[in-house]
Amino acid sequence: MKIITKFVIYCYTIVLFTIGALLISFALGKIDAYDLTVLLKSLDTVNARLATGLTGLLIILIGFVFSQIMFSRIKREKTIAFQTASGEVLVALNAVEDLIRKLTGDIEGIKEARPNVIASKKGIEINLRLALNADVHIPEFTGKVQELIKERIQEILGIDEAITVKIFVTKILAKDRPRNKKEAEEDTSVPFRGYKR
Amino acid sequence: MDQNVKSELGTIRIHKKVISSITTNAAKEVDGVADLGYSLKSFVSKLFGLNLGGIIDVNIDNNNEVTISVPIIVSYGYNLPEVAAKVQENVRKMIEKSTELNIKQIDVNIQAVEKEAKK
């Protein structure tokens, strides 16, 4: 961890701790309301106002940097990382989801797929919500899909980590049946049909 | 901060944008790279017409060593670690060839997989 990151985290903790301690002291009656009034009145000078304003600005700045650090950490957790000789390679979980969407799009029998990939210390967990055609044998079909996704993701990402694929069948849809000639002819609209003067 | 290379006649300064530009071309040359990725900085630059820097993040430390971060989008059907390794290799090769700078690290960030089929 960088020194500046550590410094910001310490500062933020101290600021929050101080505010919390002051509030608790006030609640317990350790700080008198009159003392607070006196303190606030003593701050009513140009220099004191300037110092208070700068302190407020500093607190906002520390809060902003702290949030940036936290967001970057969250962002980091949304990636699969591995190290190569030249540097680090980060694969966004969104990229893995794109890959699964494409993979499932090629499988006949799947109407719609909504993947959600979670990376943790235990490995990679893929939650896949599927809309299937009505003519598939669900246990056999989903088993094959699980195997296929597991194999392909392991192969494409080149990782040895455990991959768990959970499938939720959310919809069973009727297979699109090809329209026969008669139906097609009936649907054909003739221009000005039924038009009378 | 720009990168300085000393020659017999004086100092040659190489701007970060040059390194960024070489990296962009080198990364796009690699088979399997559909496009460069995106960054918040480049989005804000584009939106407000500011010059905050491009997609490629270039950092030069006190020892004059360069660290580059390249976000990419990979075409569907390619092995991701292989593409990332090729990007790192090509970027290193092209920067060393063009600028003779010391490359410390090249980080590749695969942000998405493009849906277009492999050519």
Contact B115/A90, CB-based, under 8 Å? no
A66 versus A50: which is more confidently predicted?
A50
For chain A, the domains span 3-77, 91-173
Q: Does the residue B119 lie in any domain?
A: no
What does the DSSP 8-state code read for residue B91?
H
Distance CA A173, CA A112 (A): 10
Of A88, A95, A99, the CB nearest to B107: A88
The pLDDT value recorded for residue B118 is: 46
Q: Does the residue B22 lie in any domain?
A: yes
Q: Does the residue B62 lie in any domain?
A: yes
Residues of A whose CB is below 8 A from B114: 98
A25 versus A184: which is more confidently predicted?
A25
Q: Which residue of A has its CA nearest to B116?
A: A102
Measured at the alpha carbon of residue B37, what is the angle toward residues B34 and B40, in degrees to the nearest 5?
165
Residue B119 confidence class, pLDDT cut points 50, 70, 90 = very low
Of B88, B103, B110, the CB nearest to A95: B110
The pLDDT value recorded for residue B86 is: 94
Q: Does the residue B12 lie in any domain?
A: yes
* Domain of B57, in residue numbers: 3-114
Chain centroid to CA A145: how far?
Answer: 24
Q: Does the residue B89 lie in any domain?
A: yes
- For residue B60 the two structure tokens come to 């030069």
Structure pTM?
0.61
According to the CATH classification, is domain A91-173 in 3.30.300.30? yes
Q: How many structural domains does chain B have?
A: 1
The pLDDT value recorded for residue B60 is: 83
For residue B8, give the CATH number of its domain.
3.30.70.1350
Residues of A whose CB is below 8 A from B113: 95-96, 98-99, 102
Residues of A whose CB is below 8 A from B76: 98-99, 102
Phi/psi of residue B40, nearest 5 degrees? -60, -40
Distance (Å) from the alpha carbon of A145 to chain B's nearest alpha carbon: 18
* CA-derived radius of gyration, chain A: 31
Of B76, B88, B110, the CB nearest to A86: B88
Distance (Å) from the alpha carbon of A31 to chain B's nearest alpha carbon: 46
Q: Which residue of A has its CA nearest to B78?
A: A156
Predicted complex ipTM exceeds 0.85 = no
Please state, rounded to an integer, the average pLDDT across all residues of chain A: 81
SS3 labels along chain A: CCHHHHHHHHHHHHHHHHHHHHHHHHHCCCCCHHHHHHHHHHCCCHHHHHHHHHHHHHHHHHHHHHHHHHHHHHHHHCEEEEECCCCEEEEEHHHHHHHHHHHHHCCCCEEEEEEEEEEECCEEEEEEEEEEECCCCHHHHHHHHHHHHHHHHHHHHCCCCCEEEEEEEEEEECCCCCCCHHHHHHHCCCCCCCCCC
Q: Does the residue B43 lie in any domain?
A: yes
